[in-house]
Structure 1
Amino acid sequence: MTRPTRSGPGQPGFGQPKQPQPAPPRWVDLSRWLWITSALVGAARFLVELADRGRLIDELRRQQPGLGQDELDAAATGGVTFGVLLGVTMVLLYALLANRMAGGRNWARVVLTVLGGAGILFGVFRLIVVASGVGAMFGLVVSPVEVLFGIATMLLDAVALTLMYLPSVAGHFRARRSVSGPPPRVANGL
């Protein structure tokens, strides 16, 4: 007895071009672009922070007072390089997740929900710390530009998150689930 395969001669759809995916609903598509924009704004915020080399070296000097100037410069350069790679990776990850979500993948919607929710909560916490003056007591210096970037990413994330869960788009994720269906069953031991 042969085991059933997903596609091959005699299977429906074999040899035929793959059916194009239907376009996502307007709100889901907008949510996708808001997630990607949020990631780009977050990366820009990160780059602005990394561009202040003097502040990076001062922070390194405060944390590692025994380092010489050459070591501080090398550590700052390494930190900036790592930061740029991390920023690019995050933008690519968000773009991948947002595109999968727009394609109807519920798991991507859940991952974006967790990431976006955590980002919003962290942003609100950071705003409270800065506004209350608690951050200044511990030497945390946050520039107004960083605050504006933080507010922008929180708003983008909140709107993108809301758009993914509008009742009018729920069918997009259910339809994708029913199209893929469960995997075929295979007889054991035969």
Structure 2
Amino acid sequence: MARPVGTPVPKLADVARWLWIASAGVGMARFVSQLFDRETLVAEARRQNPALGQDQIDAGVDGGILFGLLVATAILLAYTRLANTMARGRGWARVVLTVLGGASIAFGLFRLVAWSSGTAAALGVQLRPVDLVVTVVTTALDASAIVLMHRASAHFRTRVTVDSASPRS
């Protein structure tokens, strides 16, 4: 079942699409910037595996960076595909994005509460200011996208079936 060809995407659904893509892009940019902090990655690998030699640590960090880049790219592509599918009026994509966005919002709020209450510091988790900014931005983008998607509910009910479009004999 598809929307009629040439049917414009409602403004709310279109803005929601771009908010999802922006949120995924911001998250990916922060993740990639963390991947390129090689000194921190090497120090963490050395802390976790003190018996490894430098060559082994370097190989492990290199492999981790490559794997991280592949995962980040796959996630960005998946969010972009889901957002575009949602904008075309597919209800299942709206449901998937709502679940993913809800989880992201819950995690973001958890992080912010843990930071503001001092729980994160007590557990030895350091949240840099840029991490907090990214958390606030992605949480706001995800929440806005969910609201806009659901405000455009009529877009997801407008369906034309192949059977109803063709004359019956």
TM normalised by structure 2 equals 0.89
Counterpart residue number, 1:171: 154
Counterpart residue number, 1:72: 57
| 1:1-190 correspondence runs (5 A) | 20-166=5-151, 169-176=152-159, 179-180=160-161
* Alignment partners' CA distance in 2, 1:111 and 1:172: 16
Deviations for 1:112-143, whole angstroms, at most 9, x for unmatched residues?
00000000000111112222222222321221
Identity %: 49
Shift of 1:51: 1.5
Aligned residues: 161
Deviations for 1:60-85, whole angstroms, at most 9, x for unmatched residues?
11211211111111111111111111
Describe the shift of the 1:59–1:181 C-alpha distance in structure 2 as closer, same or farther (beyond 3 A). farther
Segment of structure 1 superposing worse, 96-105 or 128-137: 128-137
TM normalised by structure 1 equals 0.80
Q: Identify the structure with the greater helix proportion.
A: 2
* Alignment partners' CA distance in 1, 2:156 and 2:59: 48
The answer to whether the Cα contact below 8 Å between 1:109 and 1:164 also exists between their aligned partners in 2 is yes
Gaps of 5+ in 2: 164-169
Gaps of 5+ in 1: 1-18, 183-190
The answer to whether the Cα contact below 8 Å between 1:28 and 1:164 also exists between their aligned partners in 2 is yes
For the aligned residue pairs, the C-alpha RMSD in angstroms reads 1.7
Larger Rg, first or second structure (1 or 2): 1
